[in-house]
């Protein structure tokens, strides 16, 4: 049931931030998420200014019997950040990022995006490995693992998380980390938003100002060979080269390939880039020296305009047979703009101690995702079916489950368990029972509390 007007009035008086109800100006903008396929109408949205506002919002939801969703950057394709008839705890006003350049530590509020974060850290010539889209939320990406332009060099985003301030559903502020609850920090490194609302996160930083990056574009009959070159280059690449790829269709319904290298070394003539440039079908070479912020702007999809349905599989290898199958699958779509995304996990992710976080996909070679994106609601069945069928075709090569950050809301619990593995999943359930025994935070790729 929707909260009574007097309840919302009391809530407004109790928080430093803002409370937005369906009748308020700006409601439709506040409830919008990255995915236009998601159109939900919460009973109220609390735009928090700090931990006390988050605790107050939890208390209000409990008293009113409202389900809770949490919004950080709001970029999750499943749209978990908004719900019908419940309360949204919205951190979008909490976007401050403070940098200690000497200690190489960044302190990020829970609603910051990667554009906020990178702009602050690059002022000091420093970075943490994030994603590839600036509007993505820092907290959300981190808690699902975090794969991006600097994965080979510095690991997953969660590998660089050193501490966090978390508000539990009971309203308690807890510190996760070596000087707090180390087990909670372990769970936040990959276990998603199951344990509380992170209002502040601390990251290890690395020196970096410029990269050699950009986009290499391929078309025509050379796409198949270019994709094989990408696979071979990534397999043998040095640790100072990260590389991702995107397979798509052009308007003539022919496959295209975009390769996005990010080189951070000092070699003026990188052999791996020469190999990629020599592949057949190269139609555009936009690779060169860039400020790192420039690299982070290579892929900026519109926010809240496209309908999205994503399905991913981690694979142990990328053999010719799988490449051929994906080329068939992209052609089977018969219309743009569906895409297949290749994210490499070579390099630094393999160095991290598996016991430092709840990530279940380190042994994979690639994360391959069918990312359907369209605007016409009449095409919903076609694009959703294509994404599901394409992900299913990856089954013979898959390891682990899908990528938590890309999972849709319709994933069964068995697939969430598979994303972590049985042992890690049960440990996460034990942690969930400690911090959220009533499963208040279930608008996510949910880890239900373990038994008493």
Q: Which residues pair with 285 in a beta bridge?
A: 216
Contacts 24+ apart (CB under 8 A), 271-279: 272/233, 272/236, 272/237, 272/238, 272/241, 272/243, 273/212, 275/229, 275/232, 275/233, 276/216, 276/226, 276/229, 276/230, 276/233, 277/216, 279/218, 279/222, 279/225, 279/226, 279/229
Please tell me whether residue 98 adopts helix, strand or coil conformation: strand
Closest CA relative to residue 262, chosen from 247, 250, 252, 272 = 272
Q: Does domain 210-408 have CATH number 3.40.462.20?
A: yes
Which ranges constitute the DSSP H helices of 246-344?
271-277, 292-295, 320-332
Answer yes or no: same fold for 5-90 and 97-208+421-435.
Answer: no
Residue with tokens 């809770």: 68
Non-local CB neighbours of 447 within 8 Å, separated by 6+ positions: 191, 192, 194, 416, 425, 428, 429, 432
The one-digit pLDDT tens for each residue of the chain (452 residues) are 567 677 899 999 999 999 999 999 999 999 999 999 999 999 999 999 999 999 999 999 999 999 999 999 888 889 999 999 999 999 999 999 999 999 999 999 999 999 999 999 999 999 999 999 988 999 999 999 999 999 999 999 999 999 999 999 999 999 999 999 999 999 999 999 999 999 999 999 999 999 999 999 999 989 999 999 999 999 999 999 999 999 999 988 899 999 999 999 999 999 999 999 999 999 999 999 999 999 988 988 888 899 999 999 999 999 999 999 999 999 988 887 789 999 999 999 999 888 899 998 998 999 999 999 999 999 999 999 999 999 999 989 998 878 999 988 888 889 899 999 999 999 999 999 999 999 999 999 999 999 87
Domain 97-208+421-435 has CATH 3.40.50.2300: no
Enumerate the domain spans of the chain.
5-90, 97-208+421-435, 210-408
> Is the CATH number 3.40.1130.10 carried by domain 5-90?
no
Return d(Cα 128, Cα 114) in angstroms, integer: 10
Total residues found in the chain within this entry: 452
pLDDT of 183 reads 97
What are the DSSP calls for 166-199, one per residue? EE-TTS-EEEEETTSBHHHHHHHTTS-S-S-EEE
- Asked whether the beta carbons of 388 and 355 are under 8 A apart, the reply is no
Laid out side by side, the sheet with 197-204 consists of 97-100, 105-109, 197-204, 161-167, 173-177
Reduced to 3 DSSP states, what percent helix, strand and coil does the chain have, rounded to the nearest 5? 35, 25, 40
**How many angstroms separate the first and last alpha carbons of the chain?**
31
CA distance 206 to 125: 8
- Of the candidates 262, 294, 347, 240, the one whose C-alpha atom is nearest the C-alpha of residue 118 is 294
Question: pLDDT tens digits, residue range 217-241?
Answer: 999 989 999 999 999 999 999 999 9
Q: Which residues of 398-427 are buried (b: 16+ CB within 10 A; e: fewer)?
A: bebbbbbbbbbeebeeeebbbbbbeebbeb
Token output for 219: 């078309």
Alpha carbon dihedral 121, 234, 269, 147, in 10-degree steps, equals: -10
Question: Within 10 A of 93 (CB to CB), how many other CB atoms are there?
Answer: 16
Provide the pLDDT for residue 352. 86
As given in the structure block, the two tokens for residue 85 are 């008839």
User: Residue 354: what pLDDT?
Assistant: 81
- Residue reference for tokens 């239900």: 448
Which candidate, 202, 206, 173, places its Cα nearest to that of 189? 202
């Amino acid at each position: 049931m929707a909260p009574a007007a007097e309840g919302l009035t009391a809530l407004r008086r109790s928080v430093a931030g803002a409370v937005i109800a369906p009748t308020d100006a700006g409601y439709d903008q506040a409830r919008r998420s990255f995915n236009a396929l998601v159109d939900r109408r919460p009973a109220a949205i609390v735009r928090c200014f700090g931990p006390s506002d988050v605790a107050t919002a939890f208390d209000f939801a409990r008293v009113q019997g409202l389900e809770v969703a949490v919004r950080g950057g709001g970029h999750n394709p499943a749209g978990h950040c908004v719900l019908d008839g419940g309360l949204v705890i919205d951190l979008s006003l909490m976007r401050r990022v403070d940098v200690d350049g000497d200690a190489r530590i960044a302190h990020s509020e829970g609603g910051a995006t990667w554009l906020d974060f990178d702009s602050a850290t690059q002022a000091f010539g420093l970075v943490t490995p994030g994603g590839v889209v600036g509007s993505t939320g820092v907290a959300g990406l981190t808690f699902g693992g975090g794969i991006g332009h600097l994965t080979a060099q510095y690991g997953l985003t969660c590998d660089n998380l050193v501490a966090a301030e978390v508000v539990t559903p009971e309203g308690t502020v807890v510190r996760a980390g070596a000087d707090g609850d180390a087990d909670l920090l372990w769970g936040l490194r990959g276990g998603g938003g199951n344990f509380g609302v992170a209002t502040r996160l601390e990251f290890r930083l690395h020196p970096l100002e410029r990269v050699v990056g950009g986009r290499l574009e391929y078309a025509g009959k050379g796409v198949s060979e270019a994709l094989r070159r990408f696979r071979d280059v990534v397999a043998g690449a040095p640790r100072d080269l990260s590389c991702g790829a995107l397979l798509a269709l052009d308007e003539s319904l022919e496959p295209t390939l975009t390769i996005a290298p990010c080189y951070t070394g000092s070699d003026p003539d990188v052999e791996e880039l020469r190999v990629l440039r020599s592949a057949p079908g190269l139609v555009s070479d936009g690779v060169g020296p860039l400020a790192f912020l420039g690299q982070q702007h290579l892929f900026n999809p519109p926010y809240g305009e496209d309908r999205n349905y994503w399905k991913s599989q981690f694979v142990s290898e990328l053999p010719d047979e799988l490449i051929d199958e994906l080329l068939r699958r992209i052609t089977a779509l018969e219309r743009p703009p569906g895409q297949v995304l290749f994210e490499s996990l070579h390099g630094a992710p393999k160095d991290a101690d598996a016991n430092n976080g709840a990530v279940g996909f380190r042994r994979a070679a690639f994360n391959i995702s069918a990312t359907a994106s369209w605007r016409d609601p009449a095409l919903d069945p076609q694009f959703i079916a294509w994404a599901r069928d394409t992900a299913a075709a990856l089954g013979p090569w898959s390891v682990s489950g899908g990528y938590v950050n890309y999972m849709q809301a319709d994933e069964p619990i068995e697939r969430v368990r598979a994303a972590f593995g049985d042992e890690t999943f049960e440990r996460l359930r034990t942690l969930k029972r400690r911090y959220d025994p009533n499963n208040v935070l279930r608008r996510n790729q949910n880890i239900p509390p373990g038994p008493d």
